[in-house]
Amino acid sequence: MNNRNQFPRLGLLLAAVPLMLSNIASIPFFDVERADRLPAQDAADDLPDETIPEGITKDEIDTSRTADAKTATGDSLRIDNLERPFTQDGMAYHPETDILAVTIAEDETYYYFSFELKGNDAEKGYPSATYGIEFDSDLDLRGETLLWVIGGQESQWNNEGVSIYQDKNGDVGGARAVIPDAFAGDGYETLAHPESGQETTDFGWKRAPAGKEGVIQLAIRKTLIERDYFFWKAWADGGAAAPALFDYNDTFSNTQAGSPDKNSAVYPVKELELADSTCWAAYGFQPTREQTGCCYKAPAKIKVKKQGEPEPPPS
């Protein structure tokens, strides 16, 4: 540093002191620091983006391929991973309840979920079922938060029929996560948004983009999800659509639920109808082991090493 130049600078600074003092009352103390931060995340006018960022896609079973035969593969009530886009009345196939893929993406404010369905409701002409995402932030395969959205045809982001539920007493999943229990609790018993007295919430959004058959997109404010890594599970539900009955495989017995699989003893679909759900998909972290109900599959090599083959009997 050049010492000689410090004195003229000090002079300028002293000359500016009265001006600085006159302004000090109106300058927030951490103004500069705040300016460097991201904008507030919960501004009321902060709509989801018109263009959703690139995301990660989870593919699902296309049951239209077996719909004519009134059967489906890949449905497992045992792990609440359903593939039954059929009515209990005659096994009629409903493309708006058949998920083909779900893409998760994020920006600074929102998580986005784009549902690719087999098609629109043939009568109504839009995705008319209820579409949902469960979030499990503590990674125990029990959801804490449920984004729950009644479909619609509006192509702009809107809040109609958008609800966010929570399981505050922690009984979603019953005594044993993922698998069926005889005991059933009150599921997602708390409607967190819209808050009491309000008709809609701006914490969650939906739209059905124009010109895209069978696509519905949801957004939820990231501030509602406890951590930035979690398991998520998607739902298309034109049947029960009852957050208080989660997990469904704790609420519906095998016999009550029926099955879309013609090889099953409880075929056809009964009370648990018109539903498609995914396994639990990891986001923001990499699982290190397989778990029942999780999408993650360990690479084949590790699988062999971990599980091993039984030793051949001595000859």
Residue numbers at the binding site for Ca ion (CB under 5 A) = 60-61, 98-99, 136, 138, 140, 142, 167, 169, 171, 173-174, 176, 181, 186, 189, 250, 276
Q: How many CB atoms lie within 10 A of CB 300?
A: 8
Closer of 149 and 225 to Ca ion (Cβ): 225
Which position's Cβ is nearest Ca ion? 174
Radius of gyration of the chain measured on its C-alpha atoms: 26
User: Taking the complex as a whole, how short is the minimal distance between the CB of residue 180 and Ca ion, in angstroms?
Assistant: 6
Closer of 173 and 268 to Ca ion (Cβ): 173
Closer of 178 and 202 to Ca ion (Cβ): 178
225: its two tokens: 């999800």
Closer of 16 and 56 to Ca ion (Cβ): 56
Evaluate the CA torsion angle 50, 53, 59, 60 in order and state its sign. negative
Closer of 100 and 159 to Ca ion (Cβ): 100
User: Taking the complex as a whole, how short is the minimal distance between the CB of residue 247 and Ca ion, in angstroms?
Assistant: 5
DSSP secondary structure letter of residue 103: E
User: Taking the complex as a whole, how short is the minimal distance between the CB of residue 141 and Ca ion, in angstroms?
Assistant: 7
Question: 162-166 and 145-150 as β-strands: parallel, antiparallel, unpaired?
Answer: antiparallel
Of 85, 84, 88, nearest to 76 by C-alpha is: 84
Q: Return d(Cα 58, Cα 52) in angstroms, integer.
A: 16
Q: Return d(Cα 102, Cα 79) in angstroms, integer.
A: 19
Helix (H), strand (E), coil (C) string for 113-157: EEEEECCCCCCCCCCCCEEEEEEECCCCCCCCEEEEEECCCCCCC
Residues linked to residue 276 through DSSP beta bridges, in sequence order: 83, 236
User: Taking the complex as a whole, how short is the minimal distance between the CB of residue 80 and Ca ion, in angstroms?
Assistant: 8
User: Taking the complex as a whole, how short is the minimal distance between the CB of residue 264 and Ca ion, in angstroms?
Assistant: 17
User: Taking the complex as a whole, how short is the minimal distance between the CB of residue 41 and Ca ion, in angstroms?
Assistant: 23
Q: Return d(Cα 306, Cα 304) in angstroms, integer.
A: 6
User: Taking the complex as a whole, how short is the minimal distance between the CB of residue 97 and Ca ion, in angstroms?
Assistant: 8
Closer of 48 and 185 to Ca ion (Cβ): 185
Q: Return d(Cα 237, Cα 233) in angstroms, integer.
A: 13
Closer of 140 and 271 to Ca ion (Cβ): 140
Q: Return d(Cα 194, Cα 200) in angstroms, integer.
A: 5
User: Taking the complex as a whole, how short is the minimal distance between the CB of residue 315 and Ca ion, in angstroms?
Assistant: 44
Closer of 7 and 183 to Ca ion (Cβ): 183
Of 303, 260, 257, 272, nearest to 72 by C-alpha is: 260
